[in-house]
Amino acid sequence: MASVDSLTFDLTDCKLVRHAETERIWVNADRVAHRLTFDQGVIYWPFDLTDPNAAQVFYRQECEQNRGVMLEMYPAPIAGVEGLAGVFKYRSPAPGSRGMAYIGILWLPFQDCRFQVNVEAVEQGNTGMREAAVMVIEGDKWPMDPQAEIPVINNQEELDAMHAKALGRPLRRLPSDDAKCDASFPQHPLSLVRAGLARVIATAQLAPDARGLLPHRISR
């Protein structure tokens, strides 16, 4: 019978920090977390992977409802098994932080169970450096919020108020979020998440007890 141990992948340099019946969590030296979960039972997806466009619409909307933004989504088959992968951006959950949290996810959905691998990293310390550097390169191509006039900041309180207002705005996919920027910022959390997710997809293997599972399908 399939279990959380039926899916394995490369975890070089990762340390196990949680071992539960249906969950494993590892963290590496770059503070990138790898979380594997195994859900038994029929999954909630209102689509299946014969319709990748429906998957994109569903997760784009779900991400926006959680005040995030979907950066990308693509099919990710594992040894002939249907898979789906995506990368998402949210605001950091750390109180007072202006940084971002990045999550890469691999789903392997079956008729009666699902494997999910999250690769997660949070921006810490100096934030916004990737965005600032790419903004200089992009120049006028960088998307700007429409405003009647350039704001004048007279003191720290006004600056804090401006940042607080910005935190309430919906997140957007920026030019600096593009995968082509990862090589220039290899230690950025987004680059680390993409690299970690790619490694999971490239090395993932299913044990024999999971190879006979039927793919997830919905009635049409």
Segment 71-84, tens digit of pLDDT: 999 999 998 899 99
The average confidence (pLDDT) of the chain is 88
Cα angle, residue 102 at apex, residues 107 and 178 outer, rounded to 5°: 95
Q: Cβ atoms within 10 A of the Cβ of 185, count?
A: 16
Confirm if 120 and 33 have CB atoms less than 8 A apart.
yes
How confident is the model at residue 211, as a pLDDT?
84
In 66-179, alpha helices (H): 129-138, 156-167
The yes-or-no verdict on residue 38 having pLDDT over 80 is yes
For residue 153, pLDDT beyond 80: no
* Domain coordinates in residue numbering, the chain: 4-127+167-210
Mean pLDDT of 176-192: 95
Pick 218 or 195 by higher pLDDT. Answer: 195
Question: What torsion do the CA atoms of 176, 180, 183, 189 make, to the nearest 10 degrees?
Answer: 50
Q: In this structure, which topology does domain 4-127+167-210 adopt according to CATH? A: Protein Transport Mog1p; Chain A (3.40.1000)
Kindly state the average pLDDT of the residues 184-190: 96
Q: What is the mean pLDDT of residues 119-137?
A: 88
Position 159 confidence tier, pLDDT thresholds 50, 70, 90? very low
Measured distance between the N- and C-terminal CA atoms of the chain, rounded to whole angstroms: 29
Residue 148: half-sphere exposure toward Cβ, Cα within 13 Å: 0
Q: Which residue has the higher pLDDT, 166 or 195?
A: 195
148 pLDDT tier (thresholds 50, 70, 90): very low
pLDDT over 90 for what percent of the chain? Answer: 69
Burial group, residue 108, by CB count within 10 angstroms (0-12, 13-18, 19+): buried
In this prediction, residue 94 has a pLDDT band, given cuts at 50, 70 and 90, of: confident
